[in-house]
Structure 1
Amino acid sequence: MKILFTLESFFPTHRAGTEVYVLNLCNYFKAKGHDVSVLITSSEGLKDYSYEGIPIHVFDIPKHAIAEELNGLMPPRGIEAFKVKLLELQPDLIHFHSFGRAINSYHLKEAKALGIRTVFTPHLGGTFCINGDMRLYGRENCNGEVIESRCLSCNLTQKGYSVGLSKVLGRVIKEATHFNPIKNKLPAAFSQAKHRFSELKRTDKYADVIFSIAPWIQKAFEANGIAKAKLIPQGISPVFFKAFHKTQFDPKLIKFIFIGRTHSSKGLHILRDAWNALSNPNAELHIITNPSGGEQTYYDDHKQWAQSKTNIIWNEALKQEEVASYLNGMDVLILPSISNEVAPLVILEAATRKIPVIASDYVAMKDLIQHDIDGLLFKNEDVDDLKNQIQKLIQAPKLIEKYSKAIKRAHSMWEISEMVQEEYSKL
């Protein structure tokens, strides 16, 4: 089978959870003898190249997006170049991973029109949420149902309007975008919730298979009336399942670890303030991170903070094998993410070492952690609550061993790839 995976960016220029997921799928299907390649976008004139023996094809998009394409009033520019690539590559099946500015359901529709089998796996909350954070009015987790007036209201509160006024304006804007005499004269941004709804409907119509990699994603698809979505587990790289030796737990010096990009959405500032507030830090904090584009000051500030503390160890740019080895000596993972998580790989990677997690009660984490059974949850963005959960384990280290015993086995990406292959074969 000739399989084409498509997403907006790929290794080596961009490396995050989605890229890792696709790379693992590529390696599996390549090992099974399939013809595998990847299609990405570039606004910098990047040419086709190869990564770890995988052909990476590139199509050009304009450097700067315009409001009309961002809000669905027109297909993304570059879609003609996308069609040219599909005609050149002639894949039997194309597997889309997340939709964004450069690749979305318009491309899915075009692939389907060419007779190509189509598959879609979302990796971002933006599939359902115009803010991208799945936080209803910034106060609670959202169920992901796209209700245009509610989405617009929620977006307005993020811009500083009161909830009451936002709800009124949301209803007015929604009606205006559906009123023929004026809808084409309104600011493009008014159509972003309408665009999100249309994206889901096109996805439902033109995707042969939709995969949900977390229960909350499956529930969100169901809330939007999309019945063809199939729930499969999230999977992690086989490297974490290789033979390893876990360091013996020492309750006199508990080793906490944060793994993630140095980006405000990952909540490192919440962890910093909580760590600073600990009354008796009989513990170490280890950080494994990478800088994140657009937040250089945030990165610099937190690196300087970490280096000023004797009980914090800062690590950068570790390879997966190095992360797996590092986890052997850790006791508790701290994941204080505020938003932009789907099914955090790092929780599952820690699970291979039976490492319990302290995480925010964001929707993606609540899928993976049972509070006070196999880990702890704290109220999203609540520094005091996070501090209390850390202190709880420092004062009662036996809880770490209790939670560790309750952690369920994680799935390898090889297992997940077998599930994906089974669905492919049905097409």
Structure 2
Amino acid sequence: MSSLASPRHIVLLPGWYYPDSVGGTERYTQLLAHDLRMLGYRITIAAPARDDREHHYEYDGMPVYRYPIDVNPTTSEVQGKFPPRYFETFTRWLEDQRPDLVHMHSVTRGCGFFHAQQVKSFGVPLCVTVHVPGVTCARGTMQRWGHTPCDGELRVARCTACVLHDKGVPRLVGYAVARIPARLARLADRWRHRVLTGLQMAELLQHRQTHVHALLSLADHVVVVSHWLQEVLRRNGVVTDKLTLSRHGLSERLLCARAPRPVPQPFAPLRLGYVGRFDATKGLHVLIEAIRRLPTSTSITLRLYGAASGAEEQRYLATVRQQAEGEARVTFMGEMTEQNRDEVFGGFDMLAVPSTWLETGPLVVLEAFAAGIPVIGSDSGGIAELVTHGESGLLVPTGSSKAWTRTLREVADRWRQGQWTWRIPSVRASREAALDMQRIYEEVWMKSGSAR
């Protein structure tokens, strides 16, 4: 451990990181690292690599360690039955570092229960921030049957049926499979029959549930970034006195970059924008379908900025590109970067966030508010917590392209008529989130007997 004269050493542990992965958790970790450093802590970011080698580098002035994981894992490893391959490399690094605290920001194969268990075995305090629904939802969306918001409580039979439904299994069959005794389900391991693999799902989800509960119990403190997620964790047994809601914040640069918004011009089209990953859960197909349903006389444009990392997102991008063919109002603009961020938001009159899953932020809503831009988004999850309908934007029934079309037509008329008055809320700085973390860390150190 560090000496009394040296700064506390904190390891931030996300499941992915720059430059090979771009997303909200990565951005949050990046901001937190810099703000904690400004508060006097020594920070290291550690994350699983994309290959079976160790990597040491700096990103945005911050030291990053990437530990190896197997790019072709066994089924048992994917199912979490055993520690991931090369786990001993992470263990040796952690033992050598002996940080004062580890703060996990993901629960994945490369950053999960076994890593948390190892942290605690060294006597190192552990904090966990839950950023996404997938921590408690095996389907990853918190949408039961793909369209109904779920209460998030881990129930093996219900969750098994829902996951199997996502794979094309009818609900009643899924519930029946979920109730098959575990000893029969394990026979599927021997037979390797495609149909029988479904029999294992209930056992796998029971195993997953055990690991999630164990990880959250190991944590000295659990942080969530939205109210609905806080309630989900309470339903799953996380005690209130070690659970804190700390919402996202933005960098001082973004908060200071707000420029005057243009006055609506009657003959200029409403410039609608989208910023985010090309992933089905982001609902871009819903938005494009809504645009296509609009009469050609509706004066509106949609500019899409985003990245597709991995084969699944690349396939989705190809699908929505095909969906948008022939629709001149939709333009794919490429990726938003730190260099063009101000220009991107400066080209929007309104931001669209059509997510079909329950967002826990999202950061892009805060970025729009910081730029003085109203938001039209799905009426669920974190979006509904941030956007006040009729004041800072509009909320639309999740996943309904017809409702999106109706709302877009209304908002385009409102723009054309010059009725464009919104009350955009202020956005807190990321430093405030870091101060929340500082209070939590100090409390954890106090309870563990390592306070200074």
Please give the TM-score of this superposition, normalised by the length of structure 1.
0.91
Q: Is residue 250 of structure 1 aligned with residue 264 of structure 2?
A: yes
AA in 2 matched with 1:114: F
Aligned length: 419
Q: Is the Cα contact below 8 Å between 2:355 and 2:378 reproduced in 1?
A: yes
Q: Is residue 396 of structure 1 aligned with residue 408 of structure 2?
A: no
C-alpha displacement at 1:156, in angstroms? 1.7
- 2:400 aligns with one of 379, 382, 389: 382
Secondary structure in 1 matching 2:301: strand
Secondary structure in 2 matching 1:15: coil
Question: For residues 53 and 351 of structure 1, what CA distance do their matches in structure 2 show?
Answer: 28
Evaluate the alpha carbon distance shift between residue 394 and residue 35 of structure 1 in structure 2; reply closer, same or farther with a 3 A threshold.
Answer: same
Q: Is residue 111 of structure 1 aligned with residue 119 of structure 2?
A: yes
Q: Is the Cα contact below 8 Å between 2:143 and 2:358 reproduced in 1?
A: no
AA in 1 matched with 2:409: Q
- More displaced 10-residue stretch of structure 1: 43-52 or 87-96: 43-52
- More displaced 10-residue stretch of structure 1: 302-311 or 314-323: 302-311
Aligned to 2:275: 259
C-alpha displacement at 1:182, in angstroms? 5.3
- More displaced 10-residue stretch of structure 1: 362-371 or 231-240: 362-371
Secondary structure in 2 matching 1:365: helix
Aligned to 1:347: 365
Evaluate the alpha carbon distance shift between residue 290 and residue 340 of structure 1 in structure 2; reply closer, same or farther with a 3 A threshold.
Answer: farther
Evaluate the alpha carbon distance shift between residue 298 and residue 193 of structure 1 in structure 2; reply closer, same or farther with a 3 A threshold.
Answer: closer
- 2:386 aligns with one of 368, 371, 378: 368
C-alpha displacement at 1:192, in angstroms? 3.0
C-alpha displacement at 1:152, in angstroms? 0.6
Evaluate the alpha carbon distance shift between residue 422 and residue 264 of structure 1 in structure 2; reply closer, same or farther with a 3 A threshold.
Answer: same
Q: Is residue 131 of structure 1 aligned with residue 143 of structure 2?
A: no
1:47-71 Cα deviation digits (max 9, x unpaired): 2122222221122111122222222
C-alpha displacement at 1:371, in angstroms? 3.3
Evaluate the alpha carbon distance shift between residue 310 and residue 164 of structure 1 in structure 2; reply closer, same or farther with a 3 A threshold.
Answer: closer
Aligned to 2:4: none
Q: Is the Cα contact below 8 Å between 2:358 and 2:381 reproduced in 1?
A: no
1:302-331 Cα deviation digits (max 9, x unpaired): 457768555444322332352234323422
Alignment of structure 1 residues 175-186 onto 2, 5 Å: 176-177=181-182, 185=187
C-alpha displacement at 1:20, in angstroms? 0.9
Q: Is the Cα contact below 8 Å between 2:44 and 2:63 reproduced in 1?
A: yes
Q: Is the Cα contact below 8 Å between 2:258 and 2:370 reproduced in 1?
A: no
Aligned to 1:39: 46
C-alpha displacement at 1:91, in angstroms? 0.5
Q: Is residue 327 of structure 1 aligned with residue 345 of structure 2?
A: yes
AA in 2 matched with 1:163: R
Alignment of structure 1 residues 293-312 onto 2, 5 Å: 293-294=310-311, 295-300=313-318, 302-303=320-321, 309-312=327-330
Question: For residues 205 and 100 of structure 2, what CA distance do their matches in structure 1 show?
Answer: 33
Aligned to 2:5: none
C-alpha displacement at 1:387, in angstroms? 0.7
Question: For residues 185 and 316 of structure 2, what CA distance do their matches in structure 1 show?
Answer: 40
Aligned to 1:287: 304
Q: Is residue 2 of structure 1 aligned with residue 18 of structure 2?
A: no
- More displaced 10-residue stretch of structure 1: 132-141 or 333-342: 333-342
Percent identity over paired residues: 25
Q: Is the Cα contact below 8 Å between 2:217 and 2:238 reproduced in 1?
A: no
Question: For residues 145 and 177 of structure 2, what CA distance do their matches in structure 1 show?
Answer: 14
- More displaced 10-residue stretch of structure 1: 327-336 or 20-29: 327-336
Question: For residues 427 and 164 of structure 2, what CA distance do their matches in structure 1 show?
Answer: 39
1:334-387 Cα deviation digits (max 9, x unpaired): 111222732111111111133222222343322223334432222322211111
Q: Is the Cα contact below 8 Å between 1:129 and 1:196 reproduced in 2?
A: no
Q: Is the Cα contact below 8 Å between 1:72 and 1:191 reproduced in 2?
A: no
Question: For residues 267 and 313 of structure 1, what CA distance do their matches in structure 2 show?
Answer: 16
Evaluate the alpha carbon distance shift between residue 411 and residue 251 of structure 1 in structure 2; reply closer, same or farther with a 3 A threshold.
Answer: same
Question: For residues 368 and 321 of structure 1, what CA distance do their matches in structure 2 show?
Answer: 26
1:112-155 Cα deviation digits (max 9, x unpaired): 11011111012221101001011112231111110111101111
Evaluate the alpha carbon distance shift between residue 329 and residue 400 of structure 1 in structure 2; reply closer, same or farther with a 3 A threshold.
Answer: farther
Question: For residues 25 and 299 of structure 1, what CA distance do their matches in structure 2 show?
Answer: 30
Evaluate the alpha carbon distance shift between residue 222 and residue 61 of structure 1 in structure 2; reply closer, same or farther with a 3 A threshold.
Answer: same
- 1:219 aligns with one of 217, 220, 231: 231
C-alpha displacement at 1:4, in angstroms? 0.7
Aligned to 1:13: 20
Q: Is the Cα contact below 8 Å between 2:414 and 2:420 reproduced in 1?
A: no
- More displaced 10-residue stretch of structure 1: 249-258 or 106-115: 249-258
Q: Is the Cα contact below 8 Å between 1:2 and 1:92 reproduced in 2?
A: yes
AA in 1 matched with 2:355: S
Secondary structure in 2 matching 1:314: strand
Aligned to 2:157: 149
Structure 2: where are the runs of 5+ without partners?
A: 1-7, 190-199, 446-452
Please give the TM-score of this superposition, normalised by the length of structure 2.
0.86
- More displaced 10-residue stretch of structure 1: 235-244 or 110-119: 235-244
Evaluate the alpha carbon distance shift between residue 245 and residue 354 of structure 1 in structure 2; reply closer, same or farther with a 3 A threshold.
Answer: closer
